[in-house]
Amino acid sequence: MTHESTAVGLASAYSNTTTASGDWWRDAVIYQVYVRSFADSDGDGIGDLRGVRSRLPHLARLGVDAVWLTPFYVSPQADGGYDVADYRAVDPLFGDLADADELVRAAHGLGLRVIVDVVPNHTSEQHPWFRAALAGEPGARERYLFRRGRGTDGSLPPNDWESIFGGPAWTRVADGEWYLHLFAPEQPDLDWTHPEVTAEFDSVLRFWLDLGVDGFRIDVAHGMVKADGLPDIGRGAQATLIGAEPLPFFDQDGVHEIHRSWRRLLDSYEGQRIGVAEAWAPSSERLALYVRPDELHQAFNFRFLNCPWDPGAMRTVIDESLAATTSVGAPTTWVLSNHDVVRHVTRYGGGTQGLARARAAAMLMLALPGSAYLYQGEELGLPEVTDLPPESRQDPAFRRGRRQQTPLPAVPPAPTVIAPRDGEPPAPQTHTPTRPQAEAGTGPQAQACCGPQAGTGAWPVPDPPTAPEAEGQTRPQAEIGNGPEARVGCGPQAGTGAGPGPDLLTAPEAEGQDGLRDGCRVPIPWDGPEPPYGFGPAGSWLPQPPAWAGLSVAAQTGDPHSTLELYRAALELRRAMPGLGAPGAGPSPDPRGMRWLPSPDGVLLFTRPGFACTLNTRPDPVELPAPGRPVLSSAPVETDGRTVRLPPDSCTWWAF
């Protein structure tokens, strides 16, 4: 017989999201909403909180357990909202506080929990604290990391740390001091040794918990504490070391006391409120420290996202991830896409092959022990949009054309030589004294926050723009207006440097982000034959492809072969089958509830209680003994009950 992906009707009320211990988060499926691109309620072309609320029924029908919202706080939008000026207010671009309250209530009414971003490593330069610091208010600079510069006149940065965007991680202000910004200059780093910083964020968390949110995704959870003395690193291209080697500005032991205090705060509220760490560490064992029983509940596992379409690599990542988290009694998280990386349909090759692999990978992910994160639109099988017109792009790195910008010291040093790219001659650099960087205006920035990133060369993506296509890349950044911004969440970055303005000179940069992250942020299609496909009453801030009419929610609903119905069926089965979901669900000597079985080359086969999963990564069909009764497949499978013929690039779930 041929068995195709089927949305079976399941009468069971059993849900693995309520485990024996009541820890809903251990096997939750959490859906990331990139607010700007989800749904627009007011016709300005930008998604907002009311738009999100109007589309919550889609998420309830999809079968997810929680919604994670990207930042919607008051912000100059220098970094897509990750530069927060007021942590207790909603930016008018997205609505107001009443809209946030109504969204949380509506989500809860549908059985959905709500997780929001919190950004504790840095504030916006427009935050009242930083404004007071620049104005010379006594004690205000102690909340941030201000230092005197090096050299006889203090004109050199205090140490050799680099911004994640490339260039120095320091900007000099009018009186000669420098402040640290591991990301954009518009994002000054806080000093977490200051008691007012600790007290302020306790208050911020309580504010949103009192409003009813169910937890926080903690941005740069590994970055709040820096090594004593801020020591030099002694080498460049530091962003490429994130997640691979120890660094004095990331993953310091002191961050764990902060997370312990936040865990105590979260536990003081009813309803299992959680903290999710966006953290990078040099090893799986170091990452597991963030989810010890007295720390956070989850930590993003980006290794699975970065894994190539290779069964050996996949098994290694799965085994090492499960071993590390099981050692501290925590669940593992799995993710394939987010708003910072090339969508996995395209990473896996694009077209028919890429979609087949993406569907199979999603089923593999949802079959693994632990919690899964979905990125909006992946349930529709959306590919990366690689042909956006240059004039519509919003990622600031695109306009910079892989060139970094370096802040000038107040007193210019002697001419220096920039380290060349491989194969390029050295480029002389000269300086012209101008006004201090602190006086420059705010402009678009990009941010990265963790570690090695897909889409910067590991998978096929378009080449970075060159002139004349990226025609704005050589003009001063100050001439480029503010607008919707991009942020890199997990990759080696450069090509974006300090803030805008005539204080900055451009210089060649060897390691850089590609500036093409807009492609994963194009607003998703809901219904209708043409853009904006129900996104809102008017257009969308990034243009949608005309071919997306067939990928809309409305077009795929009811089609048993569609990616949307595959996701719906997988999530329904995940809830109904006792062997899926949380680690240890069902009787098994393995605390992870999972065993690998022998399988042909190119095939992964594992079991959980009453359940088996087969993944064929080969480009040709594979025959093997049927491990049970097929209940769901990403492509039609042929079985006579004794043997099965697995299609290429496919995943099948089995019951026994």
pLDDT for residue 563 is more than 60: yes
* pLDDT bracket for residue 242 (50, 70, 90): confident
Listed in order, strand segments (DSSP E) in 473-551 are 504-508
Asked if residue 541 lies in contact with residue 567, where contact means CB atoms within 8 angstroms, the answer is: no
Looking at the chain, the whole-number percentage of residues with pLDDT higher than 90 is 68
Provide mean pLDDT across the span 174-193: 96
pLDDT tens-digit profile of 255-269?
999 999 999 999 999
Pair 109, 218: CB distance under 8 Å: no
Q: Which residues contact 302 (CB under 8 A, 6 or more apart)?
A: 243, 280, 335, 450, 451, 452, 490
- Please write the tens of the pLDDT for every residue from 318-342: 999 999 999 999 999 999 999 988 9
Q: Which helix (H) or strand (E) holds 33?
A: strand 29-33
Q: pLDDT category, 166, cuts 50, 70, 90?
A: confident
Token pair for residue 584?
A: 């240890």
Segments of 246-358 assigned E as strands: 274-277, 298-299, 333-335
Q: List, for residues 525-553, the tens digit of each pLDDT value.
A: 999 999 999 999 999 999 999 999 999 99
Residue with the bigger pLDDT between 655 and 15: it is: 655
The pLDDT value recorded for residue 392 is 84
Q: Which amino acid is located at 639 in the chain?
A: T
- Cβ(50)–Cβ(72) below 8 Å: no
Q: Are 611 and 654 in contact (CB under 8 A)?
A: yes
Question: For the segment 28-69, what is each residue's pLDDT rounded down to a tens digit?
Answer: 999 999 999 999 999 999 999 999 999 999 999 999 999 999
The least confident of 22-31, 115-124, 597-606 is: 22-31
Which of 619 and 409 is assigned the larger pLDDT? 619
The model's pTM is 0.81
Q: Using one digit for the tens of pLDDT, what is the confidence trace for 369-402?
A: 999 999 999 999 999 999 998 888 876 555 533 3
Phi and psi (nearest 5°) for 187?
-130, 70
| Four-point Cα dihedral 365, 368, 372, 375, nearest 10 | 0
Residues noted as catalytic: 219, 278
**What integer is the mean pLDDT of 240-253?**
92
Rounded to 10°, the helix 563-576/351-367 angle is 10
Q: How confident is the model at residue 403 (pLDDT cuts 50, 70, 90)?
A: very low
Which H, E and C letters describe 422-450, residue by residue? CCCCCEEECCCCCCCHHHCCCCCCCCCCC
Q: In whole numbers, what is the pLDDT of the chain averaged over residues?
A: 81
Task: Answer whether residue 315 shows pLDDT above 90.
Answer: yes
Structure confidence at residue 434 (pLDDT): 32
Residues 6+ positions from 7 with CB-CB distance below 8 Å: 560, 565, 568, 569, 572
Largest CA distance in the chain: 82
Q: Is 66 helix (H, G, I), strand (E, B) or coil?
A: strand
